[in-house]
Amino acid sequence: MFFQTVLMALREIRRNGLRSLLTMLGVIIGVGAVIALVSVGRGATQKVTDDISKLGKNLLMVSAGARVKSGTSSAAQALNMADMLAISRDVAGIHAVAPGSSSQQQIIYGNKNASTSVSGSDNNFFEVRGYTIDKGRQFTRAESQSGMPVCVIGKTVQTELFGTQDPLGAQVRVGKVSCQIIGTLISKGTAGMGQDQDDVLIMPLRAFQRRISGNNDISLIFVSAEEGHPTAVVAESIRALLRQRRHRPAGSDDDFNVRDMAEIADTVTSTTNALTALLGAIAAVSLLVGGIGIMNIMLVSVTERTREIGIRLAIGAFAGEVMMQFLLEAIVLSTLGGIIGVILGLIGSFFAARSLSLPFVIPPEIVGLAFAFSGLVGVLFGYLPARKAARLNPIEALRHE
Amino acid sequence: MTSASATSEAAFDREPVSAPADSRIIQLRNVHKRYGEAESEVRALAGIDFDVDRGDFVAIMGSSGSGKSTCMNILGCLDVATEGSYYLAGVNVNDMHDDGLTLLRRHYIGFVFQGFNLLARTSALENVELPLVYRRIPAAKRREMALRSLDLVGLSDRADHSPQELSGGQQQRVAIARALVTDPALLLADEPTGNLDSARTEEIMKLLVTLNEERGITIVMVTHEPDVARYAHRTVVFKDGLILEDKRAEGCG
């Protein structure tokens, strides 16, 4: 009987094809919007967290200068090698530490040139920042200690200067220095705020300081926390240590900055989540409006089909059966709208994700929820018209023109 | 469906026709029907006694407002009397609630209306199947019974046609097939030829006579036209909520 009634409902819906479609439109748009917005939101969150983790695993970045509102750093005593060694020696839960000084430099090879970010560091840099040597090798101890002019280049630099040629062993000019390429890096793609992670050239720190920056400062200390040690705790330890080393009086602000990438990722994630929830809620309202549309049409339908209801009642249908028929019709209508909405929402978010180069994420619990919700809309807004149908007096219904 | 209706149906099955020996399928005793309250009260039936034997063919006549439609509604278990008693096939209808009345309609009564009242855009076969759906008869069996019923009214070759594709006479025959498909104890026809020309009228009336004579179906029919009433064995005339005249045609019973 139930199956029969569902079939009857489906036939009724098909019979009034255009009207049914228009009735469902509200639910379709509501569900579709919820699915698409949540899906795109999830994709954006995933992209941001992925990108930030691309900078390095459990990465902390220490730089000199206080964090001021505009995001720039105020002048302060620079960091140096001793600070880095102290961190690596005294702070618990540290996996690796790498120094980093960098500046934008012109690199020339033959008749080609490229402007890239040149960093001075050591072999820990690769570990901490998650770079892997593709061809060639890292720095030897001798190269690091004596600051020999050798370098490892990222994919972007390699492609720009060498094309398909083998760059290993080639001499390039970095600013005013001639530097030999000893290795290339595996591509990491773009990260965080869209910087190209492959547009890099890394040389020993000593070589960078001596030949490019001309001082012994370190602009950044990269710290990778050990697995199982919360980055927030490690960051706090580093802060305490540096305050002490830099003799900051109690109550004063830090004149350095420890940036926790995990924290940044969390902030971004919670922001996008809040935004997604807000948009989702707005979309849910349109689902509600869709439900009212269904109620409206069902009420019209009951009036139009008064005679049919009269026939059914006269022939021997229980009022409950008539009620069930109309209720099921509303539920089938809204659930069908829900299914179409889910499909359209996913298609929409697929293309949106592609054009925004975000990962395409199917949020299963939202799909389930939207689906269940559309069914519920059918029950809620189908009830009134169905009750109206069931309460018709068969004699009057049969007389209805 | 609901548990209430399930139990009432079960009770119904346990207690079928209580008086099989009784030759009367319809027994109305001092039936009153009043609508409205106090001063605006309308007395549609003012105390009628009316019996119909099994296998009889009765025509009910009367001007509009005479109470004949009200009487038909009560006979069809679509309405209940304000006062008096009604036994249908031995079952006391007076104390029935809505679902009980529905079950009586479902199991005992077939309706034929003036306006045919077929479901539009639904094939003749499906229209005839409709009462069987509510009897929970499986699809294959339903189809078989519906086809047999259509055959009975001579329309088995039109099973797939929708009402719009059929003539008035054919539509009424589909409606009769629908009324017959459950093998009802009583066929109630409310001006079955009211919308038909005289040729179709004759066709339908002959069909009803055949069904009455060959299958022993009890028929109660409302009509305005004496020519149509002529086909019945017995004619009852209503006036002002009372039975004015009740006469049996010559050569019958």
Q: How many residue pairs from chains A and B have C-beta atoms closer than 8 A?
A: 60
pLDDT exceeds 80 at position B34: yes
Average pLDDT over all residues of chain A: 87
User: How distant is the alpha carbon of residue A114 from its chain centre?
Assistant: 31
| Mean pLDDT, range B137-157, rounded to an integer | 93
Distance between CA atoms of A180 and A183, rounded to whole angstroms?
9
| Mean pLDDT, range A121-135, rounded to an integer | 88
Of B78, B103, B182, the CB nearest to A395: B78
Task: Please tell me which residue of chain A has the smallest CA distance to B103.
Answer: A316
Distance between CA atoms of A241 and A11, rounded to whole angstroms?
75
Provide the pLDDT for residue B124. Answer: 95
Is A318 close to B117, i.e. CB distance below 8 A? Answer: no
Token readout for A10 is 């489906």
Radius of gyration of chain B (CA): 18
pLDDT exceeds 80 at position B3: no
Q: Which of A339, A312, A334 is closest to A323 using CA atoms?
A: A312
Is A316 close to B103, i.e. CB distance below 8 A? Answer: yes
Q: Which of B47, B48, B2, B56 is closest to B24 using CA atoms?
A: B56
Of A310, A318, A395, the CB nearest to B5: A318
Is B130 close to A312, i.e. CB distance below 8 A? Answer: yes
- How many other C-beta atoms lie within 10 A of the C-beta of residue A166? 12
What share of chain B in percent tops pLDDT 90?
Answer: 70
Provide the pLDDT for residue B157. Answer: 93
3-state secondary structure chain A: CHHHHHHHHHHHHHHCHHHHHHHHHHHHHHHHHHHHHHHHHHHHHHHHHHHHHHCCCCEEEEEECCECCCCCECCCCCECHHHHHHHHHHCCCEEEEEEEEEEEEEEEECCEEEEEEEEEECCHHHHHHCCCEEEECCCCHHHHHHCCCEEEECHHHHHHHHCCCCCCCCEEEECCEEEEEEEEECCCCEECCCEECCCEEEEEHHHHHHHHHCCCCECEEEEEECCCCCHHHHHHHHHHHHHHHCCCCCCCCCCEEEEEHHHHHHHHHHHHHHHHHHHHHHHHHHHHHHHHHHHHHHHHHHHHCHHHHHHHHHHCCCHHHHHHHHHHHHHHHHHHHHHHHHHHHHHHHHHHHHHCCCCCCCCHHHHHHHHHHHHHHHHHHHHHHHHHHHCCCHHHHHHCC
Distance between CA atoms of B122 and A272, rounded to whole angstroms?
53
Provide the pLDDT for residue A69. Answer: 54
Provide the pLDDT for residue A11. Answer: 85
- CA dihedral sign of residues A190, A191, A195, A200: negative
Cβ proximity of A322 and A310 under 8 Å:
no
Task: Please tell me which residue of chain A has the smallest CA distance to B138.
Answer: A1
Query: Position A92: which residue type?
Result: A
Of A307, A316, A320, the CB nearest to B2: A320
- How many other C-beta atoms lie within 10 A of the C-beta of residue A288? 16
pLDDT tens-digit profile of B163-172? Answer: 999 999 999 9
Q: Which of A334, A332, A314, A315 is closest to A324 using CA atoms?
A: A332
Residue predicted with more confidence, B250 or B85: B85
Provide the pLDDT for residue A129. Answer: 86
Query: Position A351: which residue type?
Result: F
3-state secondary structure chain B: CCHHHHHHHHHHHHCCCCCCCCCEEEEEEEEEEEECCHHHCEEEEEEEEEEEECCCEEEEECCCCCCHHHHHHHHCCCCCCCEEEEEECCEECCCCCHHHHHHHHHHHEEEECCCCCCCCCCCHHHHHHHHHHHCCCCHHHHHHHHHHHHHHCCCHHHCCCCHHHCCHHHHHHHHHHHHHCCCCCEEEEECCCCCCCHHHHHHHHHHHHHHHHHHCCEEEEECCCHHHHCCCCEEEEEECCEEEEEEECCCCC
pLDDT tens-digit profile of B84-120? Answer: 999 998 889 988 888 999 999 999 999 999 889 999 8
Token readout for B179 is 């009324």
Provide the pLDDT for residue A8. Answer: 82
Distance between CA atoms of A397 and B251, rounded to whole angstroms?
40
Cβ proximity of A30 and A283 under 8 Å:
yes
- Domains defined along chain B, listed by start: 3-248 (3.40.50.300)
User: How distant is the alpha carbon of residue B114 from its chain centre?
Assistant: 12
Cβ proximity of A45 and A361 under 8 Å:
no
Residue A255's contacts (CB-CB under 8 Å, 6 or more residues apart) are A64, A65, A66, A74, A76, A77, A246, A248
Report the residue of A315, A326, A392 to disrupt the B interface, i.e. the one with the largest count of B CBs within 10 Å.
Answer: A315
Distance between CA atoms of B95 and B199, rounded to whole angstroms?
43
Distance between CA atoms of B99 and B134, rounded to whole angstroms?
13
pLDDT tens-digit profile of A385-399? Answer: 999 999 999 999 988
Longest dimension (CA), chain A: 105
Our CA-based measurement puts residue A23 at a distance from the nearest CA of chain B, in whole angstroms, of 21
Token readout for B20 is 């099989």
Confidence of residue B11 (pLDDT cuts 50, 70, 90): very low
Cβ proximity of B192 and B173 under 8 Å:
no
Is A398 close to B117, i.e. CB distance below 8 A? Answer: yes
Residues 139-168 of B with CB under 8 A from A: 139
Is A317 close to B99, i.e. CB distance below 8 A? Answer: no
Distance between CA atoms of A338 and A110, rounded to whole angstroms?
62
pTM score of the predicted model = 0.74
Where are chain A's structural domains?
Answer: 2-51+266-399, 98-224
pLDDT exceeds 70 at position A75: no
Q: Which of A218, A224, A159 is closest to A187 using CA atoms?
A: A159
Our CA-based measurement puts residue B1 at a distance from the nearest CA of chain A, in whole angstroms, of 7
Provide the pLDDT for residue B4. Answer: 43
| Mean pLDDT, range B225-230, rounded to an integer | 92
Our CA-based measurement puts residue B226 at a distance from the nearest CA of chain A, in whole angstroms, of 24
pLDDT tens-digit profile of A203-222? Answer: 999 899 888 888 888 888 99
Distance between CA atoms of B153 and B183, rounded to whole angstroms?
14
Of A4, A15, A398, the CB nearest to B113: A398
Distance between CA atoms of A62 and A60, rounded to whole angstroms?
7
Provide the pLDDT for residue B1. Answer: 40
Provide the pLDDT for residue A188. Answer: 81
Token readout for B180 is 């017959």
Confidence of residue B16 (pLDDT cuts 50, 70, 90): very low
Cβ proximity of B132 and B183 under 8 Å:
no
Q: Which residues of A83-118 are buried (b: 16+ CB within 10 A; e: fewer)?
A: bbebbeeebebbbbbbbbbbeebebebeeeebebbb
Cβ proximity of B30 and B39 under 8 Å:
no
Cβ proximity of B98 and A319 under 8 Å:
yes
Predicted-complex ipTM score: 0.87
| B241 close to A (CB below 8 A) | no
Distance between CA atoms of A128 and A100, rounded to whole angstroms?
11
Residues 62-91 of B with CB under 8 A from A: 73, 76, 78-79
Our CA-based measurement puts residue B117 at a distance from the nearest CA of chain A, in whole angstroms, of 7
Distance between CA atoms of B122 and B125, rounded to whole angstroms?
8
